Amino acid sequence: MTYDSIGQVDCQVWAYDSFVHILVNYDFPLMYLRSSDNGQTWSDTTRLNIESSTHSQTLTQQDSVVYFTWSEHREGPPRGMLVDTQYLFFRKSIDCGTTLDTAIFVGKGWDVDISALRDSVFDATCYYIQTPPPIGAYLYQSFDAGTNWSGYLAIVDSASLPNIAYRNAILHFAGIRDYKIIYTRSTDLGNFWSTPTVITQPNTVLPKKPVLALGPNQNVYIAWTDNKYSGAMQFDDVLFRKSTDDGLTWGPEQRLTPDSHCDVASIDMVSQDSMIFLVWNYNGLGYPTPCSLFFLASTNCGNTWRQRETVKEGFSIATVNANVAVVQDYVYVIWRDNQYGPTDEVSMRRGSFTSVGIKERWCVSCYTINIYPNPIITDIRLQIGDRSQKISIKIFDVSGKEVIWDKERRDRETWRQGETVRLDTRDLPCGVYFVEVRAGEMITIKKAVKVK
């Protein structure tokens, strides 16, 4: 757990390998701190922004390169009176955040989001003031790791709260326009965008805070909050839709909070393999006021959801800015509250999403085992190496329950050295599984992801 005793406006967490990065917006300085040991110890804070108050910020990491982008409040040119304007800036680190390059001016913008694939970096932003460019969502792009940036490319007019994600030469965008959550995509690096798809249903009242994430294969997820079920302006529900064909069509809307226990626009979402993780704040009514930070997970691409968990709970200490990151076996959740003093502080909890006793394990003295393809679709192929002996093969889901599959193969005990074993998994639902190969007292366990 880490905290700082200065009042915050916003905070964000990102994880990559053993590195955990946190941005904290103090309204004037935008501060950055990092951990290189999965959140056990933390660096001193480093200021990112140049001189003015910061409205929006985000980051992402590609291998050892960390990309940061944010907007700063400035006074624009006189037009009868001074015009308040927001400008986007960019910084990067090539050594996992140890040192930072000089800040680079990108262009005009307010809210901002970032996506990157190696040297290709994409900034999505929104501009709200009636001066060029017109009000709407825009894209800035760089193909040399942020050294040079394009001019703004229009995404969709009159949109706000941008989300951008890039995969397989497709740019995905989600935002809000005319009190609706919208989605659009580009297959030519942002020069042309598809006609926006309205994600929210006709009975939507006031949708807020869309969050976009990419799953395995062609899965695309959008989550947001809305008060159409509660009828109260201060309480929302968490809603979710997914696409399995890279945004061309969308599945039905799912309501994930049947009790409307969600604060307005308080949500974050990330995904890894077939797993999806959602966090949000809830600060209820009455005295003392019940205050909670909730966590929800799916292990099968959002088809079903596990039971909601509480990361933090108490009374009369409001939690805000819930944010989540995931990498390998760890999930990181951060938030801010004033539990330790009169000003807000940032706190973090780290959890593991593998059940107790089910983890990847490799026994070098036993044998080697290769699983392919991984992710799997219709079958698992195991290549047994090193020695021939009696072994057993079992498959478990993430809850630790052994699943039923290919009984004939399962009951066979002897496998020859170098033999490739093919296991039928067509009846298994999408999700994360653990393949256990046991020889006597020696066990090898490897993770496999089933997708459609």
Q: How confident is the model at residue 346 (pLDDT cuts 50, 70, 90)?
A: confident
Is 361 within a domain? Answer: no
Let me know if residue 221 belongs to a domain: yes
Q: Bigger pLDDT: 47 or 422?
A: 47
Give the residue carrying structure tokens 């985000």: 58
Rounded to the nearest 5 degrees, what angle is found at the Cα of 10, between the Cα atoms of 7 and 11? 105
Q: Between 433 and 103, whose confidence is greater?
A: 103
Quote the number of domains for the chain. 2
Q: Please state which of the ranges 27-31, 155-159, 387-391, 402-406 shows the lowest mean pLDDT.
A: 387-391
| 151 shares its domain with 237 | yes
- Torsion, Cα 384 388 389 393, to 10 degrees, reads 10
Report the C-alpha gap between 100 and 179 in whole angstroms: 39
Would you say residue 4 lies in a domain? no
Asked if residue 281 lies in contact with residue 320, where contact means CB atoms within 8 angstroms, the answer is yes
User: How many whole angstroms from its chain centre is CA 83?
Assistant: 35
Tell me: do 182 and 315 sit in the same domain. yes
pLDDT per residue over 215-259, tens digit each?
A: 999 999 999 999 999 888 888 999 999 999 999 999 999 999 989
H-helix or E-strand containing 411? helix 407-411
Which candidate, 118, 122, 71, 64, places its Cα nearest to that of 96? 64
Residue 401: domain span: 369-450
The tokens for 128 are 């709200």
Residues 180 and 38 in one domain: yes
Q: Are residues 288 and 213 in the same domain?
A: yes
Two structure tokens written together for 57: 């910020």
User: From CA 199, how far away is CA 183, in angstroms rounded?
Assistant: 7
Q: What's the CATH number where 373 sits?
A: 2.60.40
Structural domain contains residue 359: no
Q: Is residue 2 predicted with pLDDT exceeding 60?
A: no
Listed residue (172, 325, 190) closest to 242, CA to CA: 172
Cα(206)–Cα(222) distance, rounded to whole angstroms? 16
Average pLDDT, the chain: 82
SS3 (DSSP) at 46: strand
Structure tokens at 81: 């009176």
